[in-house]
């Protein structure tokens, strides 16, 4: 599992038999590789192709074991050449095709070439995975290190598959189901391919409805306004505060800078009941200014903390030079400190933007008038029996896409911000 | 001389620091510290959601008999009531500004009319009290309002004094009695603990695994790292609804795939079924299904957080430690166990503390996924239920205070017994 693989052992040239142990290990690896390859292929055929396939476990494992054993037999101590791997895959695929009568994946093969393609692709994949799993390994001498390395390679492959699926699949599902009507989803819930033959207007009906009938266009503006103003307020206050904490001497400074993050541990739900009461009586509930008081308060502590950590890394000589030259403190902050800390400001700003954009609880509790809904609050109003799920998912895509674009655009800054601050979760 | 100058400089610096920190202090006090104190206050008061709008008299004006020309009589009826059904309102006073040219006829003794202003002092009203006040006026030559449909009552106002339940000094422990003795409290506590503990452990384990995977240089690593952060960066409302739809028993893809490939005997309502019997090695085990799903969501959504921190820590482990271990013949698992893990203890326990506290405080996720149904009601959801669904703010605040006390207790215990280097 570690980054460094064991160094390839120096082996004598020439072929040495893999032996019974080596062959069985390779066969086991092949079986697992085949299970992964066939599983991935069947799953994508079902989900993206809408095809009626099944997952024949025993033949899959048998074919994989055959591949593993054959590769072990021929490879000796060296990695098999790619062409040999493909030949083995071709042979096993042919055998499987013949044995299953042209339907290796069971079910109803739509066309004969489909069965052939399935067997070839999945077996080639399985064979290649097996080869990759055995790379640089001496099968004739399997010790603890080799076995563990092999085990870790298997775990890694499983891990990559697992994480890719759990991370990508829900988001793919979000997009795909925003393009499908309720009838389509009920009829074939396993099919998530997008039928591109229909008219674009029909495909995007969910988005059109959500943006017009359900006023998401306005909610986007509201969310943007709220997030941008929150970022501005937070940055201004956090810059002043962080500068004071790092550069100025005053009593209680240590205590203060240590207790900043403690604020972070306060549950939002505990704040909601009294804030709801007080804001209702003050007439601040159901107003955007009300929200704009709460949001900076929840982001300020961590923004201050992050900026403080950054300011500490800046040399204070430049600032002192500025002070001696007759600049005021604010002038020094504006002319010297801020230009030096642009990357940190970007990190903090993006991070605060993300929190404000994603915020749900306070928007949900405070906002009643659709005219000032943020996107999160607007989503709640979509979540009802009368509104098709398709629209809800279109709304989800609309909420998610801006933050994702921002994230990928500025990933470097955002990751820096996340790690520096330890985002409130 | 020199010394005095120095102190003034220091004082000036401290004053400047004060002014630079003042806005932050103000906003944090107003929105974080004050509410925590206010919560304590509300939790010992019998406050319901309806009390937030303080009781007040309301008035409607009707023209019973319009006057159009000189000499006719105009009759106005003020229909008034106390908006609260239970709380009395004192010093009720009605105000109005009437058109010119009206002379009162048999003016009610409680009223005084100094043209054009009318004022009536109506005394104390019990909860739910209604009163009608009919006033008769004679139109004179100066009366200009000929059209009876002219808007009347635009200057009509009524005022009264009512006690504000939030600010009076009556206290009660009834809220805590209801909450702590209620049948819901203990189950909610256990659910919260299970959710917090397993959600935290799950997210950290997943994060550790993911960080291990990406702790080696390979093509596409940056892209994968970005992808792995998706669940964490995406808005909770979008991913929660996506999960709910994905796991739907009727049209959800996960159920359909599970049934299709024989993993599930039949469609399972992951988010609305309290428990599921699983046959394991001949044993029948009842798995709390909805709670497990919510925990899985928690682990899924927050593993990127642990992932980022652990990955950053990995990069800081010196490479030569592994090289030395390899020379000594350590196997990969031994390297992980004896080199990597000890280096991670600090970050893992910090992560555990942070994630534990934040998961304990978490409201959005469970609320959006299940609304607290099917055995997933955590304490935070109970705060919401009591305060807003049942409209009993006092009881909600009592749950919130309890939650806060438990949290504080955890933190004290943790900081006392935490391993070295944590926090």
Q: Does residue A159 sit in the same domain as residue A217?
A: no
Q: Does residue A222 sit in the same domain as residue A356?
A: yes
Do the Cβ atoms of A419 and B309 come within 8 Å?
A: yes
Choose between B145 and A200: higher pLDDT.
A200
Q: Does residue A132 sit in the same domain as residue A239?
A: no
List the one residue out of A124, A121, A97 whose CA is nearest residue A109: A97
The domain boundary, picked from A129, A154, A177, lies at: A177
List the one residue out of B138, B122, B118 whose CA is nearest residue B75: B138
Q: Does residue A63 sit in the same domain as residue A165?
A: yes
Dist. CA A372–CA A421, nearest whole Å: 30
Q: What is the pLDDT of residues A401-415, one digit of tens each?
A: 999 988 888 877 777
The domain boundary, picked from A159, A177, A195, lies at: A177
Q: Does residue A127 sit in the same domain as residue A231?
A: no
Do the Cβ atoms of A281 and B54 come within 8 Å?
A: yes
Do the Cβ atoms of A167 and B403 come within 8 Å?
A: no
Which tokens is A283 given? 């007439």
* A383 neighbourhood in chain B, CB within 8 Å: 241
Residues linked to residue B287 through DSSP beta bridges, in sequence order: B276
Residue B50 is predicted with a pLDDT of 76
Residue A301 lies in a domain: yes
Nearest CA in chain A to B340: A2
Q: Does residue A156 sit in the same domain as residue A282?
A: no
For A242, B65, B397, the CA distances from B408, given in Å and listed in that order, are 27, 67, 16
If one counts the domains in chain A, the total is: 2
DSSP letter assigned to residue A263: G
Work out the burial of residue B275: count CB atoms within 10 Å of its CB; fewer than 13 is exposed, 13-18 middle, 19 or more buried. Answer: middle
Residue B331 is predicted with a pLDDT of 84
Residue B145 is predicted with a pLDDT of 60
Residue A238 lies in a domain: yes
Residue B56 is predicted with a pLDDT of 81
Number of residues that this document lists for chain B = 423
Nearest CA in chain B to A403: B234
Residue A16 is predicted with a pLDDT of 64
For A27, A53, A84, the CA distances from A18, given in Å and listed in that order, are 11, 36, 17
| Cβ pair A181, A203 in contact under 8 A | no
List the one residue out of A323, A350, A325 whose CA is nearest residue A243: A323
Q: What is the CA radius of gyration of chain B?
A: 34
| Cβ pair A248, B20 in contact under 8 A | yes
Dist. CA B252–CA B267, nearest whole Å: 9
Select the residue of B31, B232, B336 nearest A1 (Cβ to Cβ): B336
Q: What is the pLDDT of residues B79-108, one digit of tens each?
A: 888 887 777 888 888 888 888 788 888 888
Block residue for tokens 């006090």: B29
Residue A6 lies in a domain: no
Q: What is the pLDDT of residues B1-58, one digit of tens each?
A: 445 555 687 888 888 888 888 888 888 888 888 888 888 888 888 888 877 777 788 8
| Cβ pair B30, A297 in contact under 8 A | yes
Q: Which B residues, 184 through 223, put their C-beta within 8 Å of a C-beta on chain A?
A: 209-210, 212-213, 215-217, 222
Residue B1 is predicted with a pLDDT of 45
Strands B130-139 and B73-82: antiparallel
For A85, A127, A148, B256, B265, the CA distances from A130, given in Å and listed in that order, are 9, 5, 16, 31, 32
List the one residue out of A56, A50, A336 whose CA is nearest residue B253: A50
Residue A282 lies in a domain: yes
Task: Kindly give the confidence (pLDDT) of every residue in chain A, 425 residues in length, as a single tens digit, with 9 standing for 90 and above.
Answer: 444 455 444 444 445 677 888 888 999 999 999 999 999 988 888 888 877 777 888 888 999 999 998 888 877 667 778 888 888 888 988 888 888 877 777 655 566 777 888 888 999 999 999 988 888 887 777 788 888 888 999 999 999 999 999 999 999 999 999 998 888 888 888 888 887 788 888 888 889 989 998 899 999 999 999 999 999 999 999 999 999 988 888 888 888 877 777 777 888 888 988 899 889 888 889 999 999 999 999 899 889 888 888 888 888 888 888 888 888 888 888 888 888 888 889 889 988 999 999 999 999 999 999 999 999 999 998 888 888 889 999 999 999 999 998 888 887 777 776 666 554 44
- The mean pLDDT value of chain B amounts to 85
Query: Maximum distance among all alpha carbons in chain A?
Result: 90
Mutation for B interface: A181, A219, A270, most B CBs within 10 A: A270
Do the Cβ atoms of B312 and A419 come within 8 Å?
A: yes
Residue B161 is predicted with a pLDDT of 84
Query: What b/e readout covers B155-179, taking b as 16+ CB neighbours within 10 angstroms?
Result: ebebebebeebbeeeeeeeebbebb
Q: Give the architecture (CATH level 2) of B53-161.
A: Sandwich (2.60)
Which residues are within 8 A (CB) of A254 and not within 5 positions of it... i.e. 6 or more apart? none
> What is the crossing angle of helices B236-246 and A389-409, to 10°?
130
Q: Does residue A170 sit in the same domain as residue A220?
A: no
Which tokens is A199 given? 């008219």
List the one residue out of B299, B304, B301, B343 whose CA is nearest residue B211: B304
The SS3 of residue B111 is strand
Choose between B3 and B129: higher pLDDT.
B129
Query: What b/e readout covers A256-290, taking b as 16+ CB neighbours within 10 angstroms?
Result: bbeebeebbbbbbbbbbbbbbbbbbeeebbebbeb
Q: Does residue A221 sit in the same domain as residue A355?
A: yes
Residue B147 is predicted with a pLDDT of 53
Residue A14 lies in a domain: no
Residue A13 is predicted with a pLDDT of 46
Do the Cβ atoms of A241 and B21 come within 8 Å?
A: yes
Residue A224 is predicted with a pLDDT of 95
| Cβ pair A66, A92 in contact under 8 A | yes
pLDDT of B319 > 60? The answer is yes
- According to CATH, the topology of domain B177-417 is MetI-like fold (1.10.3720)
Residue A4 lies in a domain: no
* B331 neighbourhood in chain A, CB within 8 Å: 144-145, 148
Q: What is the pLDDT of residues B152-208, one digit of tens each?
A: 777 888 888 887 777 777 788 888 888 888 888 999 999 999 999 999 999 999 999
Which tokens is B416 given? 């006392």
Do the Cβ atoms of B363 and A268 come within 8 Å?
A: yes
pLDDT of B421 > 50? The answer is no
Residues linked to residue B134 through DSSP beta bridges, in sequence order: B77
Residues linked to residue B77 through DSSP beta bridges, in sequence order: B62, B134
Residue A353 lies in a domain: yes
Q: What is the pLDDT of residues B230-276, one digit of tens each?
A: 999 999 999 999 999 999 888 888 888 888 887 887 888 888 888 88
Q: Does residue A53 sit in the same domain as residue A168?
A: yes
Residue A244 lies in a domain: yes
Which residues are within 8 A (CB) of B22 and not within 5 positions of it... i.e. 6 or more apart? none
- The mean pLDDT value of chain A amounts to 85
Dist. CA B18–CA A248, nearest whole Å: 10
CATH number at residue A340: 1.10.3720.10
Enclosing domain of residue A162: 19-177
**C-alpha angle with apex B69: B63 to B72, nearest 5 degrees?**
60
Name the residue ranges covered by the structural domains of chain B: 53-161, 177-417
Q: What is the pLDDT of residues B174-186, one digit of tens each?
A: 888 888 888 889 9
| Cβ pair A276, A285 in contact under 8 A | yes
List the one residue out of A193, A173, A180, A230 whose CA is nearest residue A400: A173
Q: Does residue A280 sit in the same domain as residue A409?
A: yes
Q: Does residue A238 sit in the same domain as residue A295?
A: yes
């Amino acid at each position: 599992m570690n980054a460094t693989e064991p160094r390839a052992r120096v082996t004598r040239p020439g072929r040495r038999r893999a032996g019974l142990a080596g062959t069985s290990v390779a066969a086991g690896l092949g079986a697992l590789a085949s299970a992964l390859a066939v599983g991935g292929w069947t799953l994508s055929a079902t989900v993206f192709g809408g095809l009626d396939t099944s997952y024949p476990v025993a033949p899959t494992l048998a074919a994989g074991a055959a591949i593993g054993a054959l590769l072990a037999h021929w490879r000796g101590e060296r990695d098999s050449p790619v062409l040999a791997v493909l030949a083995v895959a071709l042979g096993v695929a042919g055998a499987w095709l013949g044995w299953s009568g042209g339907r290796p994946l069971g079910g109803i093969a739509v066309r004969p070439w489909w069965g052939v393609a399935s067997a070839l692709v999945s077996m080639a994949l399985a064979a290649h995975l097996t080869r990759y799993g055995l790379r640089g390994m001496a099968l004739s001498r399997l010790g603890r290190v080799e076995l563990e390395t092999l085990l870790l390679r298997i775990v890694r492959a499983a891990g990559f598959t697992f994480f890719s699926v759990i991370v990508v699949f829900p988001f793919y599902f979000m997009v795909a189901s925003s393009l499908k009507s309720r009838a389509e989803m009920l009829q074939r819930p396993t099919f998530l391919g997008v039928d591109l033959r229909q008219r674009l207007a029909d495909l995007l009906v969910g988005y059109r409805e959500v943006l017009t009938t359900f006023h998401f266009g306005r909610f986007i503006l509201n969310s943007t306004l709220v997030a941008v103003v929150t970022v501005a307020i937070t940055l201004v206050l956090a810059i002043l505060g962080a500068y004071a904490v790092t550069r100025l001497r005053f009593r209680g400074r240590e205590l203060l800078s240590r207790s900043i993050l403690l604020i972070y541990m306060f549950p939002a739900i505990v704040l909601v009941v009294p804030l709801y009461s007080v804001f209702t009586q003050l007439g601040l509930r159901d107003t955007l200014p009300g929200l704009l008081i709460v949001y900076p308060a929840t982001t300020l502590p961590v923004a201050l903390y992050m900026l403080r950590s950054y300011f500490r890394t800046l040399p204070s000589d430049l600032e002192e030079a500025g002070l001696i030259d007759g600049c005021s403190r604010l002038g020094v902050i504006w002319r010297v400190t801020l230009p030096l800390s642009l990357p940190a400001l970007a990190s903090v700003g993006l991070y605060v933007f993300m929190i404000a954009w994603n915020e749900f609880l306070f928007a949900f509790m405070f906002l009643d008038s659709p005219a000032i809904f943020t996107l999160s609050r607007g989503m709640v109003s979509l979540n009802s029996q009368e509104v098709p799920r398709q629209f809800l998912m279109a709304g989800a895509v609309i909420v998610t896409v801006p933050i994702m674009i921002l994230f990928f655009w500025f990933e470097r800054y955002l990751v820096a911000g996340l790690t520096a601050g330890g985002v409130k979760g | 001389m020199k010394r005095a100058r120095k102190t003034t400089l220091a004082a000036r610096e401290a004053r400047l620091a004060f002014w630079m920190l003042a806005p932050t202090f103000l906003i944090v006090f107003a929105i974080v510290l004050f509410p925590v104190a206010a919560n304590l206050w509300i939790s010992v008061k019998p406050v319901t959601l309806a009390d937030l709008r303080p009781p007040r008299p309301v008035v409607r004006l009707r023209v019973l008999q319009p006057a159009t020309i000189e000499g006719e009589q105009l009759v106005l009826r003020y229909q008034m009531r106390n908006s609260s059904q239970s709380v009395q309102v004192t010093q009720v006073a009605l105000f109005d500004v009437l058109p010119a040219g009206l002379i009162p006829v048999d003016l009610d003794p409680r009223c005084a009319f100094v043209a054009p202003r009318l004022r009536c002092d109506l005394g104390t009203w019990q909860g739910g009290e209604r009163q009608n006040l009919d006033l008769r006026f004679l139109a004179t030559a100066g009366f200009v309002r000929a059209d009876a449909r002219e808007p009347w009552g635009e200057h009509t106002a009524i005022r009264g004094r009512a006690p504000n339940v939030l600010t009076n000094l009556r206290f009660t422990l009834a809220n805590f009695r209801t909450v702590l003795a209620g049948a819901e409290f203990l189950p909610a506590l256990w659910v919260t603990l299970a959710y917090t503990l397993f959600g935290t452990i799950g997210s950290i384990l997943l994060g550790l695994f993911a960080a291990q995977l990406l702790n080696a240089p390979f093509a596409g690593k940056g892209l994968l790292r970005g992808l792995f952060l998706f669940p964490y960066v995406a808005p909770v409302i979008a991913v929660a609804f996506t999960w709910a739809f994905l796991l739907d028993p009727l049209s959800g893809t996960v159920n359909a795939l599970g049934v299709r490939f024989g993993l599930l005997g039949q469609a399972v309502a992951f988010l609305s079924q309290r428990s599921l019997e699983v046959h394991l090695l001949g044993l029948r085990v009842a798995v709390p299904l909805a709670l497990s799903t919510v925990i899985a969501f928690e682990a899924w959504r927050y593993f990127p957080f642990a992932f980022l921190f652990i990955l950053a820590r990995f990069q800081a482990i010196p490479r030569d430690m592994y090289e030395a271990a390899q020379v000594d013949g350590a196997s990969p698992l031994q390297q992980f166990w004896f080199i990597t893990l000890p280096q991670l203890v600090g970050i893992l326990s910090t992560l555990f503390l942070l994630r534990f506290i934040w998961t304990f405080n978490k409201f959005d996720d469970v609320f959006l996924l299940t609304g607290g149904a099917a055995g997933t009601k955590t304490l935070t959801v109970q705060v919401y239920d009591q305060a807003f669904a049942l409209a009993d703010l006092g009881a909600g605040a009592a749950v919130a205070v309890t939650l806060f006390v438990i949290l504080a207790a955890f933190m004290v215990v943790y900081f006392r017994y935490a391993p070295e280097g944590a926090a």
